[in-house]
């Protein structure tokens, strides 16, 4: 049986998911939702998607749609995920699940009532580089003592990953820190019990901090230091250093190196080297197998509890 999906948000990340879906047998994207009809129609034509709309509700009303992938602005994620579940559709929402903890809790509560698959795009759980480390931890061959993470971009104006103007404001804490906060707890297999944050000046136009530093400690004693910036005029992206009791690893997206900068072959860790594709494969496999996916909304909710606490700390609450 073919799983028929709708995708909302035909921007930089939406097209990555469209490319991924093309590689997965038994999956067909039949509806595309975007903010501007003409631009969305152009993307739909490129990918052979017949139904195009600027209204998510129109896609949700299509009986043939089984599942939805949301690649829309952060501020819409929780409400749209709830709308999908209420319409009886499985849903994968890009990271972050929410930018307010209560909204994320509402998604998790509704998922529990419906029994539908609801997953969040915490891609780092699926990158082969991080999977390699996770497999070593599960095998008892490596234990994290410290993670040192840098998340760096150059976005002094409101631009997306393709360098095009963005219709919404990105956020270092609720979006980019979410990747590392979740990954740290996931890799350690231990909840975060201590979290501290400081931030730099607030941008006068964007209204967000452009620089931030976060410290985390897990119940098992492992620690994590995360530095984030939108001001960095150097290599951009997120770079992870795992310091453990038996090795050091450097993860750069889907690539992995040891502490001496020698490349580690992770090509056989999974069926693809593309983290987005592996994430989507998990979503559709969970639907077929009627099971909870890795990175389900319930599994990632603790991450958002930490972000909520850090937001309160930064605001002096």
Q: What is the pLDDT of residues 82-133, one digit of tens each?
A: 999 999 999 999 999 999 999 999 999 999 999 999 999 999 999 999 999 9
Interior angle at CA 197, CA 194 and CA 200, nearest 5? 175
| Number of CB atoms found within 10 A of residue 207's CB | 9
Instruction: Kindly indicate the confidence band of residue 72, based on its pLDDT and cuts at 50, 70 and 90.
Output: very high
Task: Confirm if 136 and 142 have CB atoms less than 8 A apart.
Answer: yes
* Highest mean pLDDT pick, 48-62, 152-166, 198-212: 48-62
pLDDT number for residue 236: 86
pTM for the model: 0.94
Burial class of 161 by CB neighbour count within 10 A (0 to 12, 13 to 18, 19+): middle
Question: Coil, helix or strand for 92?
Answer: strand
Question: Coil, helix or strand for 303?
Answer: helix
**pLDDT surpassing 70 at residue 169:** no
Q: What is the pLDDT of residues 185-238, one digit of tens each?
A: 999 999 999 999 999 998 888 888 899 999 999 999 999 999 999 999 988 889
pLDDT number for residue 171: 82
Distance set, CA 127 to CA 163, 251, 283 (Å): 24, 9, 15
Task: Confirm if 297 and 118 have CB atoms less than 8 A apart.
Answer: yes
3-122+276-295 CATH fold = Rossmann fold (3.40.50)
127-269 CATH fold = Dihydrodipicolinate Reductase; domain 2 (3.30.360)
Question: Coil, helix or strand for 294?
Answer: coil
Residue spans in the chain of domains classed CATH 3.40.50.720: 3-122+276-295
Instruction: Name the average pLDDT for the chain.
Output: 94
Residue spans in the chain of domains classed CATH 3.30.360.10: 127-269
Where are the alpha helices (H) located in the chain, listed in sequence order?
A: 12-22, 37-47, 56-60, 77-86, 101-114, 128-138, 178-188, 275-289, 297-314
């Amino acid at each position: 049986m073919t799983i028929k999906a709708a995708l909302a948000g035909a921007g930089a990340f939406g097209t990555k998911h469209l490319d991924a879906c093309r590689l997965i047998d038994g999956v067909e994207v039949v509806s595309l939702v975007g903010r501007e009809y003409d631009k969305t129609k152009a993307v739909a034509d490129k990918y052979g998607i017949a139904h195009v709309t600027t209204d998510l509700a129109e896609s949700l009303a299509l009986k043939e749609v089984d599942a939805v992938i949301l690649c829309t602005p952060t501020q819409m994620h929780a409400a749209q995920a709830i709308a999908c579940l209420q319409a009886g559709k499985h849903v994968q929402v890009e990271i972050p699940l929410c930018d307010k903890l209560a909204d994320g809790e509402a998604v998790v509560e509704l998922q529990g009532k419906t029994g539908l698959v609801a997953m969040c795009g915490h891609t780092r759980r699926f990158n082969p580089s991080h999977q390699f480390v996770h497999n070593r931890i599960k095998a008892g061959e490596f234990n994290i003592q410290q993670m040192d993470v840098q998340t760096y971009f150059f976005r002094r104006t409101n631009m997306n990953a393709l360098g095009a103007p963005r219709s919404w404001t990105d956020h270092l804490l609720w979006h980019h820190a979410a990747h590392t906060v979740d990954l740290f707890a996931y890799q350690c297999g231990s909840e975060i019990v201590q979290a501290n944050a400081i931030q730099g000046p607030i941008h006068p136009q964007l209204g967000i901090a452009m620089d931030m530093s976060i410290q985390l400690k897990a119940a098992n004693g492992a620690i994590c230091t995360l530095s984030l910036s939108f001001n960095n005029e150097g290599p951009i992206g997120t770079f992870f250093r795992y310091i453990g009791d038996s090795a050091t690893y450097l993860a750069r997206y889907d690539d992995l190196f040891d502490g001496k900068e020698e490349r580690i072959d992770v090509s056989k860790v999974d069926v693809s080297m593309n983290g987005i594709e592996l994430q989507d494969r998990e979503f559709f496999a969970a639907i077929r197998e009627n099971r909870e996916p890795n990175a389900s909304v319930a599994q990632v909710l603790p991450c958002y509890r930490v972000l909520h606490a850090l937001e309160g700390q930064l605001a002096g609450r």
